[in-house]
Amino acid sequence: MKKNIIIFGAGRAGKTTLAKKLNQELNYSVIGTDDITSILQKSFPELKLDVSNDWEKTMANFAPLIAHFIGTLDYRSKCFNGTNFVIEGWHYDFEKMLPILKMYEIEELSDYFLLIGLVYPNKTPEEYFNDRKKYDSTDDWTYNLCDEELKGLSIDAVEYNRKILDKYSIYNPRIYDVSQDREQVLDKIVSDIASL
């Protein structure tokens, strides 16, 4: 049975685009953690998921919910043979998620999930900023940011991107460099997954 997939990486790395390709070409259901976080923040502000734009703290607060969500989905996908999912998001606090996932008999992430990291280790903050300005659409949460906010985000995103390898390496992810020819790299990922 094919594994469910967890995609992580900084903004503009191609997470959503890859998830869409996996849906269209390999029939994976797609779940976006950014959507879940946004809905919960608006519906239940008392959960304090949004911590003054501190993404690390927000995701730490969000970790128990996403762990139960992933555990339940993984269990259900085994019950309903062939119903697989791909979940994509910027950041996962796997350290906080693992104790909860063990309740669902998930001991090692890489035994149950295909972990895919999208990185662009050679991009500068200026290149990231220009990509955002060029490619953001009204669906992107960064679309209405002023240039100064976007420049600050660009610096943070490039710095976070460089930390990804260290942060997640213990979970045995498949890492893909999307610094150049992103669409071709994403197509290669889909091909790699299809051949498993």
pLDDT in tens, 46-71: 776 664 556 667 777 788 888 998 88
Residue 77: the pLDDT is: 74
Mean pLDDT calculated for residue range 118-139: 86
Residue 81: the pLDDT is: 67
Kindly state the DSSP code that residue 45 receives in the 8-state scheme: G
Mean pLDDT calculated for residue range 176-183: 90
Give me the residue label for tokens 């999208």.
Answer: 118
Residue 98: the pLDDT is: 94
Residue 1: the pLDDT is: 62
Calpha distance 121→107 (Å, rounded): 30
Average pLDDT, the chain: 85
Residue predicted with more confidence, 114 or 47: 114
Residue 160: the pLDDT is: 80
The residue ranges of every structural domain in the chain are 4-119+173-194
Give me the residue label for tokens 């950014």.
Answer: 34
Residue predicted with more confidence, 192 or 122: 192
| DSSP three-state, residue 37 | helix
Side chain identity, residue 162: R
Give me the residue label for tokens 């994509």.
Answer: 88
What φ, ψ does residue 132 adopt, rounded to 5°? Answer: -60, -45
| Residue 23 pLDDT class (50, 70, 90 cuts) | very high
Calpha distance 116→93 (Å, rounded): 15
Residue 50: the pLDDT is: 61
Residue 80: the pLDDT is: 67
Residue 189: the pLDDT is: 97
Q: Are 66 and 45 in contact (CB under 8 A)?
A: no
Give the containing element (helix H, strand E) for 129.
helix 125-135
CB atoms within 10 A of CB 35: 12
Q: Which of 36, 26, 33, 27 is nearest to 7 (CA)?
A: 33
| DSSP three-state, residue 110 | helix
Residue 37: the pLDDT is: 75
Residue 55: the pLDDT is: 65
Residue 39: the pLDDT is: 81
Sign of CA dihedral 93, 95, 100, 101: positive
What φ, ψ does residue 39 adopt, rounded to 5°? Answer: -65, -45
Query: Topology of domain 4-119+173-194, per CATH?
Result: Rossmann fold (3.40.50)
Calpha distance 30→112 (Å, rounded): 17
C-alpha angle 81-113-29 in degrees, rounded to nearest 5 = 55
Kindly state the DSSP code that residue 170 receives in the 8-state scheme: G
